[in-house]
Every structure is written in structure tokens, then in C-alpha cells.
Amino acid sequence: MAKKLVIVGSGPAGLTAAIYAARADLQPVVVEGFMKGGQPGGQLMTTTEVENFPGFPEGVDGPDLISRMRKQAERFGAEFIMEDLDSVDFANRPFTLSNSSRTITAHAVIIATGASAQVLDMPGVKQFWGKGVSACATCDGALPIFRNQVIGVIGGGDSAIEEATFLTRFASKVLLIHRRDEFRASKAMQKRAFDNPKIEIVFDSVLEEVYGSQFMEGIKLKNVKTSQISDYACKGLFMAIGHTPNTGFLKNALEVDAKGYIKVKSPSTATSIEGVFAAGDVTDPHYRQAISAAGTGCAAALDAERWLLANDLG
Ligand SMILES: Cc1cc2nc3c(=O)[nH]c(=O)nc-3n(C[C@H](O)[C@H](O)[C@H](O)COP(=O)(O)OP(=O)(O)OC[C@H]3O[C@@H](n4cnc5c(N)ncnc54)[C@H](O)[C@@H]3O)c2cc1C
């Protein structure tokens, strides 16, 4: 028998949708996803300190926050399946969602599969991830380890310059590192970088290594024109080289933008297919925060509930 609602993803967006949908008695099934050998729970499972989620004045561990959201959804009857999905069929109703071992049918679906930060796979990056290396200045920039320290930012687009500018509030100096000799960012953003006395621009350079002991202590950069290796002491390194929305498994079943983010009919969470809704980072190249993902997760559950009722499926 088809489920009323299947939610794909168990980050803040999927779990908030599950809490709302379970409380509305939709008996949602959450396909948690573990990202091919990782773990369920999404991006917050990879961070220790969340200081900006409302309701936690002392801060909260990412995995602890996710575990609390999951328990809250379970309390109201949400069912969890710890698997990744490989494909969907949204052309026929009820919808079908599947992987090699399971097929689930559902009248309504919420996609909350998040986005993955692109990360340079160089020596030391994994070792010092969360110990100086990060991909989110808004999330981590204000942490004490970065205060009055030199911090590197890698990237050459608008978001790299935005992150570098933001980090100058905390850092003594920001090294803005780009592999070319000019930025891809808009002229206005470039001016912001050139005019900021706390930003030092390092053109023509690529990351060779992050080093340190307990925390990172510096980076080695290679000049792509001269091949010379230079050493920079710094306590932080932020990758601002883009994100990839986790929409590959949809294989064009829904309309996405040029970068693969699911298009929603704002201000709703409706997608190009009636009865399929989307929430969180998979729709959002702009904010990428736990609270904004949770907010759209709530909206998606309310949208799905209303759609199911309007179609006598609720
Ligand atoms: C290191 C780090 C630190 C951060 N710190 C903060 C912070 O301090 N404050 C803050 O507000 N934000 C922070 N963020 C950002 C925040 O984590 C994200 O904005 C938020 O997690 C997005 O939630 P989401 O539910 O949209 O997606 P995600 O959290 O990415 O969850 C996506 C879910 O979808 C699942 N999934 C993906 N593909 C499939 C598939 N094919 N089948 C089934 N399931 C699938 C995944 O397994 C996962 O469960 C941080 C991010 C990172 C990486």
C-alpha cells in the first residue's frame, strides 16, 4: 500500500518535516540516507559546535542536535529507513522511490537531501577538518580558535569574497587564495576584497598541504606559474569553492537549476511535480544554515499535508 508521505533525507530539513508530518498523523516514512557509506543525519553530523541554533544558549554538538530532532520525530510516530535512494519515478502515481533492495510507493514526497560542500582532497584537509579547516564561515567563523588569527580562504567567486570579508571581523588577516590571476567574482565584490586592508590576495596559488599538530597551524601553497612552494602560518582554512546539491538520484525527474538545485515555487516548497515538495540546502544556494533548512522543512510538511487533504489522500 502506498505511504501517504515519504521524506528523503534526515538532516534538519527532513527531520523537521518528519516532526510536523508525524504530528499531523501522516505517518511519514523517512529514508534517512547515509551518503554511500557515511552516516545518516546530514551535514551537522560532521561538526562539533553549533552556536547559532536557537534554543541552545550554550551551543550544542551537531550530532546531539540531530539526535534530539530524530527522537522528537520518532515520538510522534515517524518511521525511519537507513538507506540511500538510487532512483525515483514521479511520472506515475503513486510515486515510486527505489534502490537495489527496496521500492517504496507514496502519494506525496518531500526531498530534503541537502548539498555537499566541494572540498579539496589534499594532504591534511581531512585530518584538520573541524580543527581549523571548514567550509562554512557563517557557521564557524566566530569560533574562539579563529579570533585574531590569520585565516585562509580558498576560492575566487562571489561567495569566496563574501566569506573572506565576513571573516575579517574576527581574523587579524585573511589570505584570499585563488588559482588564477583574476577573480571570477563580480566587479563590486572584487572591489570589496581589494579595498579591505585585512584581506591579502594570493593569486596563482593552489593548496599543497595543511599541517599542524592537534589543530592546524599552517598551509603550503604552490604558485602555478613558478611552481614555487610557500609556507603560510594560519589557524584556519575555509574552502569556498562551491557546493553540489544531492540531486543526482532524481535523474531529471524534477526541474533543477543550472547547478542542480531543485526549483521550488516560492514562497511555497512545491516543485515542478504536484505532490513533490523540496526543502533545505537542496533548494538553497544562498543561506545554507540548519535553521533555514529546518524552516523550509516545516513549510514542506505543511504544504504536503494541505496537498494530500485537497486531493483526498490525507
Ligand atoms: C562542517 C559543517 C558545519 C556546519 N555548522 C553549522 C552551524 O554551526 N550552524 C548552522 O546553522 N549550519 C551549519 N552548517 C550547515 C548545515 O549543516 C546545513 O545548512 C544543514 O545541515 C542543511 O540541512 P538539510 O537537511 O537541508 O541537508 P543535510 O544536513 O545535508 O542532510 C541531507 C540528508 O539527505 C540524505 N541524502 C542525501 N542523498 C540521499 C539519497 N540519495 N537517498 C537518501 N538520502 C539522501 C543525507 O544522508 C542526509 O541525511 C554546517 C555544515 C557543515 C558541513
Considering the domain architecture, whether residues 208 and 165 belong to the same structural domain is answered as yes
Considering the domain architecture, whether residues 230 and 283 belong to the same structural domain is answered as no
User: By residue range, what is the domain housing residue 215?
Assistant: 119-239
Q: Are 176 and 161 in contact (CB under 8 A)?
A: yes
* Residue 36 clears pLDDT 80, i.e. is over it: no
Report the pLDDT value the prediction gives residue 49, as an integer from 0 to 100: 85
pLDDT per residue as tens digits for the range 57-77 = 999 999 999 999 999 999 999
Among 44, 46, 69, 264, name the best residue to mutate to test ligand 1's pocket (greatest count of ligand atoms within 8 A of Cβ).
44
* Residue 35 clears pLDDT 80, i.e. is over it: no
* Domain final residue pick, 239, 255, 284: 239
Report the pLDDT value the prediction gives residue 314, as an integer from 0 to 100: 84
Give yes or no: 298 in active site.
no
Q: Report the chain's mean pLDDT, rounded to a whole number.
A: 95
Considering the domain architecture, whether residues 253 and 234 belong to the same structural domain is answered as no
Q: 273 CA to middle of ligand 1, Å?
A: 24
Considering the domain architecture, whether residues 129 and 169 belong to the same structural domain is answered as yes
Considering the domain architecture, whether residues 76 and 132 belong to the same structural domain is answered as no
Considering the domain architecture, whether residues 41 and 186 belong to the same structural domain is answered as no
Nearest to 301 by CA among 110, 131, 156: 110
Question: Mean per-residue pLDDT for 27-32?
Answer: 97
| DSSP states along the chain | --EEEEEE--SHHHHHHHHHHHHTT---EEE---TTTS-TT-GGGG-S-B--STT-TT-B-HHHHHHHHHHHHHHTT-EEE-----EEE-SSSSEEEEETTEEEEEEEEEE---EEE-----TTTTTTBTTTEES-HHHHTTSGGGTTSEEEEE--SHHHHHHHHHHTTT-SEEEEE-SSSS-SS-HHHHHHHHH-TTEEEE-SEEEEEEEESSSEEEEEEEETTT--EEEEE-SEEEE-S-EEES-GGGTTSS-B-TTSPBP--TTS-B-SSTTEEE-GGGG-SS---HHHHHHHHHHHHHHHHHHHHHTT--
* Domain final residue pick, 207, 239, 271: 239
Of residues 139, 234, 284, 303, which has the active-site annotation?
Answer: 139
Considering the domain architecture, whether residues 181 and 111 belong to the same structural domain is answered as no
Domain count, the chain: 2
Considering the domain architecture, whether residues 277 and 297 belong to the same structural domain is answered as yes
The percent of residues in the chain predicted with pLDDT above 90, rounded, is 93
Question: Mean per-residue pLDDT for 236-244?
Answer: 95
pLDDT per residue as tens digits for the range 110-120 = 999 999 989 99
Considering the domain architecture, whether residues 235 and 125 belong to the same structural domain is answered as yes
Query: Please, which residues have CB within 8 angstroms of residue 99's CB and are 6 or more apart in sequence?
Result: 83, 84, 85, 86, 87
Q: 131 CA to middle of ligand 1, Å?
A: 19
* Distance from C-alpha of 227 to C-alpha of 145, rounded to nearest angstrom: 31
For position 142, which CATH number holds?
Answer: 3.50.50.60
**C-alpha cell of residue 106:** 507514496
Considering the domain architecture, whether residues 100 and 174 belong to the same structural domain is answered as no
**Site residues for ligand 1, CB cut-off 6 Å:** 8-14, 31-35, 40-44, 46-47, 50, 52-53, 84-85, 112-114, 117, 134-136, 139, 246, 249, 280-282, 288-291, 293
Q: 226 CA to middle of ligand 1, Å?
A: 39
Report the pLDDT value the prediction gives residue 176, as an integer from 0 to 100: 98
Q: 12 CA to middle of ligand 1, Å?
A: 7
Range name among 47-51, 213-217, 287-291 with the lowest pLDDT average: 47-51
Considering the domain architecture, whether residues 54 and 23 belong to the same structural domain is answered as yes
Report the pLDDT value the prediction gives residue 120, as an integer from 0 to 100: 96
pLDDT per residue as tens digits for the range 120-177 = 999 999 999 999 999 999 889 999 999 999 999 999 999 899 999 999 999 999 999 9
Among 36, 100, 113, name the best residue to mutate to test ligand 1's pocket (greatest count of ligand atoms within 8 A of Cβ).
113
Of residues 86, 89, 136, 158, which has the active-site annotation?
Answer: 136
Considering the domain architecture, whether residues 129 and 193 belong to the same structural domain is answered as yes
The percent of residues in the chain predicted with pLDDT above 70, rounded, is 99
Q: 284 CA to middle of ligand 1, Å?
A: 12
* Domain final residue pick, 199, 218, 239: 239
Give yes or no: 136 in active site.
yes
